[in-house]
C-alpha cells in the first residue's frame, strides 16, 4: 500500500473519537460522574490526535522534492509529539476536575444508563485501536502505532472509570469516583510520556533496532569472509524509512567496474534483508592508509 493511503486509518481514528466523545459526554450528563467526564475529555484528545495524524500522514506521503531530498517521512514524529503533549494536557484537566470533586463530592445519578453507554463507547475504541495497531505494525507507521496505543489506553481508562462508578453505586462512597479519575490521569501521563519518548528518539536519528542491525551485519559479514572489510557502518530511522551507510574496503588492484559491481551486490542483499531501506556505500582501498581516516563522522585529519 502507498503511504498516502494510510490516511484512511486516520479517518477511522477520527470517526471513532467523534462517536465515543459524544457517547461519553451523554454518559456524563446522565450521571454527573467526574470519572466519565475525564473519559470524555480523553476522547476529545483522541479527536485532535486523529486530526494531527491525518495531517502528518498526508505530509509524510509526499515524494522527495528539491528542498527535502530524503522525503518527508519525519513528519510522523511531529504527530506523535503533539499527541503526547495533548495527552498530558488532558491529564492535567482531568486531575484538576477530579481534585475539586474529591474536595466537594456529589452524588451520581442514572448510573446504569451511564455505564451502558460508556461500555458501548469502549468497544468502539477497542475495535478501532486494534485495527490501527495492526496497520501501524504492517506499514511501520509510528503515527498509527501512537494513535492505536492512545485508543487502547482509552479503553483501559474506561474500564477503570466503569469500575469506579460501579463501586460508588455499590458502596455509596462518593469519593471513589474522583479517586478513579486521578488514577486515570496518572495512566494517561505515562502513555503521553512514552509516546513522546519514541518520537524524540526518531527526531534524534536513533539507530535501527538491534534485531535489524544483526540482520544487516550478517549480510556484511558474509562478504567480509571473502577478504574484503567494512567499517563506518551507520544506521538511522526516519519514520518508516531506514538509512544505512557503510564503507567497503577492497583490494587496491580491483578496477572501478569490479568494485562497483561488488557494491551493487552488497546493496541488493541488504535490501533483501531489510525493507524500506536506502543504502549508501563508499568504496575504499585496503592498500591506502587514508581509508582508515574516516572511521568517525568527522574525518580525523587531512588525507
Out of 80-94, 163-177, 236-250, give the one with best mean pLDDT. 236-250
> What pLDDT was estimated at residue 116?
87
Cell matching residue 131: 485495527
Number of domains in the chain: 2
Cell matching residue 22: 459524544
Does residue 156 lie in a domain region?
A: yes
Q: 136 and 230 share a domain? A: no
Q: 196 and 246 share a domain? A: no
Q: Of 203, 238, 273, which residue sits at a domain end?
A: 203
Residue 299 has pLDDT above 70, yes or no: no
Cell matching residue 29: 450528563
Q: 191 and 246 share a domain? A: no
Residue 195 has pLDDT above 70, yes or no: yes
Q: Of 144, 174, 203, which residue sits at a domain end?
A: 203
> What pLDDT was estimated at residue 298?
63
Does residue 241 lie in a domain region?
A: yes
Mean pLDDT of 135-140: 82
Q: 167 and 268 share a domain? A: no
> What pLDDT was estimated at residue 255?
93
What 8-state DSSP symbol labels residue 277? E
Q: How confident is the model at residue 30 (pLDDT cuts 50, 70, 90)?
A: confident
Does residue 38 lie in a domain region?
A: yes
Does residue 74 lie in a domain region?
A: yes
Q: What is the CATH number of the domain that holds 85?
A: 1.20.1510.10
The continuous run of DSSP H or E covering 238 comes out as strand 229-238
Q: 131 and 242 share a domain? A: no
Q: 222 and 102 share a domain? A: no
Q: Of 157, 175, 203, which residue sits at a domain end?
A: 203
Please name the residue that has the C-alpha cell 585529519: 301
Q: 106 and 167 share a domain? A: yes
Q: 239 and 188 share a domain? A: no
User: Strand pairing partners for 230?
Assistant: 248
> What pLDDT was estimated at residue 3?
60
Counted residue by residue, the chain has a size of 303
Does residue 302 lie in a domain region?
A: no
Percent residues over pLDDT 70 in the chain = 95
Q: 169 and 231 share a domain? A: no
Q: 31 and 105 share a domain? A: yes
Does residue 120 lie in a domain region?
A: yes
Cell matching residue 63: 515524494
Q: What is the CATH number of the domain that holds 218?
A: 3.30.70.1350
Residue 240 has pLDDT above 80, yes or no: no
> What pLDDT was estimated at residue 165?
77
> What pLDDT was estimated at residue 274?
92
Q: 178 and 247 share a domain? A: no
Residue 300 has pLDDT above 70, yes or no: no
Q: 222 and 244 share a domain? A: yes
> What pLDDT was estimated at residue 130?
94
* 9 CB-contact burial (10 Å; exposed 0-12 / middle 13-18 / buried 19+): buried
3 state DSSP class of 247: strand
Closest C-alpha among 189, 29, 184 to residue 97:
184
Q: Mean pLDDT across the chain, nearest whole number? A: 82
Residue range of the domain that includes 108: 3-203
Does residue 10 lie in a domain region?
A: yes
Please name the residue that has the C-alpha cell 482531568: 94
Amino acid at each position: 500500500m502507498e503511504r498516502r493511503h494510510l490516511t484512511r486509518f486516520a479517518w477511522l481514528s477520527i470517526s471513532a473519537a467523534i462517536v465515543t466523545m459524544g457517547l461519553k459526554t451523554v454518559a456524563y450528563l446522565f450521571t454527573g460522574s467526574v470519572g466519565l467526564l475525564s473519559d470524555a475529555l480523553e476522547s476529545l484528545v483522541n479527536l485532535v490526535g486523529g486530526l494531527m495524524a491525518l495531517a502528518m500522514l498526508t505530509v509524510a506521503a509526499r515524494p522527495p522534492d528539491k528542498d527535502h531530498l530524503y522525503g518527508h517521512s519525519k513528519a510522523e514524529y511531529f504527530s506523535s509529539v503533539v499527541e503526547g503533549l495533548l495527552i498530558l494536557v488532558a491529564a492535567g484537566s482531568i486531575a484538576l476536575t477530579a481534585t475539586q470533586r474529591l474536595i466537594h463530592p456529589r452524588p451520581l445519578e442514572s448510573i446504569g444508563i451511564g455505564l451502558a453507554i460508556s461500555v458501548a463507547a469502549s468497544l468502539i475504541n477497542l475495535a478501532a485501536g486494534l485495527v490501527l495497531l495492526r496497520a501501524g505494525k504492517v506499514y511501520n507507521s509510528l503515527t498509527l502505532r501512537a494513535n492505536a496505543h492512545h485508543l487502547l489506553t482509552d479503553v483501559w481508562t474506561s474500564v477503570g472509570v466503569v469500575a469506579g462508578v460501579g463501586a460508588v453505586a455499590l458502596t455509596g462512597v462518593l469519593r471513589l469516583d474522583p479517586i478513579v479519575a486521578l488514577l486515570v490521569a496518572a495512566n494517561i501521563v505515562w502513555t503521553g510520556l512514552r509516546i513522546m519518548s519514541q518520537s524524540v528518539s526518531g527526531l534524534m536519528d536513533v539507530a535501527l533496532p538491534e534485531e535489524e542491525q544483526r540482520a544487516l551485519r550478517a549480510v556484511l559479514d558474509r562478504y567480509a569472509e571473502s577478504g574484503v572489510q567494512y567499517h563506518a557502518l551507520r544506521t538511522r530511522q526516519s519514520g518508516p524509512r531506514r538509512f544505512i551507510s557503510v564503507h567497503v574496503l577492497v583490494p587496491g588492484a580491483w578496477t572501478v567496474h569490479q568494485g562497483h559491481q561488488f557494491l551493487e551486490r552488497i546493496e541488493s542483499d541488504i535490501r533483501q534483508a531489510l525493507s524500506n531501506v536506502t543504502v549508501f556505500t563508499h568504496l575504499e582501498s585496503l592498500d591506502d592508509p587514508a581509508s582508515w581516516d574516516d572511521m568517525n563522522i568527522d574525518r580525523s585529519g587531512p588525507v
